[in-house]
Structure 1
Amino acid sequence: MTRFLRTTALCSVTFAVLLLGACGKSEPAAPASAPTAPAPAATAMAPPPPSTVAAPASTSTSASMAPAGSVPAPPAAQAVAPLTVAKITLGSEVNAEHRVTRATARFAPNDKAIYASVATEGSSEGATLNAKWSYLEGTGQLVSSISQSIATDGPAITTFKVQNPDLWPVGKYKVEISLDGKSVAKQDFEISKS
């Protein structure tokens, strides 16, 4: 009976070690191109490729003591959470980690670029994020649609950028984020004078 428990514990520990060793494997993300539409006021846009970086992992440690003579339980296998969009942050500048440095929903007509940092949680070996930028005034107009394939095994930031070499038309805009073709988040913003 004791031998059976030892063998079972040894097999469980070996499986857990192999499972944890495989967690860190991921394929490099390859940006996928999507067609872009002209910007309002007949201004052509050339969006640069979006970028994704892994968010710093937070760690916590805890220790527990098992009673003397007991067999330690093998580590529990962690369930893999599916990829989800946690937050969209808009701004006119990003830092080296691709995070918006100052969040805002109001931009000036002469801001050359607008960034959307999309925070994701969970894991995916291959998912597609899309940012669809729209001008909402009048009949509305698609400004740009940018897609990117990502692979991550934890929190990550994917940054999308839309730019206009001329002045942005004043009015209301929206960026809509889709995950694998399904709309998951929206953020309204405005271009206004002062």
Structure 2
Amino acid sequence: MHRLAPTLVLCCAVALLCGCHRHDSTPAEPAAGTPEAAPIAAHSSNKPAPASHTAPAAPATTPAPAASTAKPAASDDSFRVATLTLGSAIDAGYAVTAPATRFTADTPVIYASVATTGRTASATLDARWRYLEGQGVLVNELSQTVAADGPAVTTFKVQNPNRWPAGKYSVEITLDGKPVAKQGFEIQGKK
């Protein structure tokens, strides 16, 4: 075994040196749109949202062109909330299926689907649900850490096993502590 060790080390060193600069003509950066991590829906099951089904880029078959002196167009990939949608049902991608701002008192779950764009290694989305009748009572507050490399959906939910008190409510979404979206909704009593 000890007689083979120097030979093995020499073979490994040769293989490593031969591999240096072997793929200089292929791009070193990952394809745009490749997800780093999928968001997790903020609901009691803690079931992760499905990963994006972006196909990887095809391998390069021709050498990369020479570097250009022209600057590429600036792209704004800052992470931000694009839309806030309320409803009583969501699909497999955690997006609300039937947007609504009026619910019945016996609606068991209300979802707030937050669509985001841009990139972030780590951002915190908070949802604050309030009952606005009287003194604006805080009903629920949820927080979710998000990592995204493109469009994503994070869903928050509030549920009541009993009947909701009739009246006006709101949900406010904050991004890293700063308010970014707010949506009012109403619970209708018996008619």
Q: 2:175 aligns with which of 169, 173, 179?
A: 179
Aligned partners of 1:183 and 1:94: how far apart in 2? 24
Structure having the higher helix fraction is 1
Deviations 1:156-192 (A, max 9, x none): 0001010000000000000000001111000000001
Deviations 1:59-106 (A, max 9, x none): xxxxxxxxxxxx956584874611100001100011111111100000
Q: Give aligned-pair identity as a percent.
A: 46
Structure 1 pair 188/93, CA: closer, same or farther in 2 (3 Å)? same
Aligned partners of 2:171 and 2:154: how far apart in 1? 14
Measure how far apart 1:20 and its partner are: 2.9
Q: 1:146 aligns with which of 126, 142, 148?
A: 142
Q: What amino acid maps onto 2:140 in structure 1?
A: S
Structure 1 residue 20 and structure 2 residue 24: aligned? Answer: no
Q: 1:169 aligns with which of 136, 147, 165?
A: 165
Structure 1 pair 100/31, CA: closer, same or farther in 2 (3 Å)? closer
Aligned partners of 2:170 and 2:47: how far apart in 1? 18
Measure how far apart 1:146 and its partner are: 0.3
Please report the TM-score for the alignment, with normalisation by the length of structure 2: 0.69
Structure 1 pair 156/29, CA: closer, same or farther in 2 (3 Å)? closer
Measure how far apart 1:30 and its partner are: 6.9
Secondary structure of 2:105's aligned partner: coil
1:1-194 matched pairs, under 5 angstroms: 17-21=27-31, 24=34, 26-27=36-37, 48=44, 49=46, 52=49, 72=65, 74=67, 76=72, 79=75, 81-193=77-189
8 Å Cα contact 1:85/1:184 also seen in 2: yes
Deviations 1:113-163 (A, max 9, x none): 000110000000111111110000011200000000010100000010100
Ranked by relative contact order (alpha carbons within 8 Å, sequence separation 6 or more), the top structure is: 1
Secondary structure of 1:20's aligned partner: coil
Measure how far apart 1:26 and its partner are: 2.1
* Structure 1 runs not aligned, ≥5 long: 1-9, 33-46, 58-70
Q: Calculate the aligned-residue CA RMSD, in Å.
A: 3.1
Measure how far apart 1:52 and its partner are: 4.5
8 Å Cα contact 2:129/2:172 also seen in 1: yes
**Hey, what does 1:40 align to over in structure 2?**
none
Aligned length: 155
Q: What amino acid maps onto 1:156 in structure 2?
A: A
**Hey, what does 1:41 align to over in structure 2?**
none
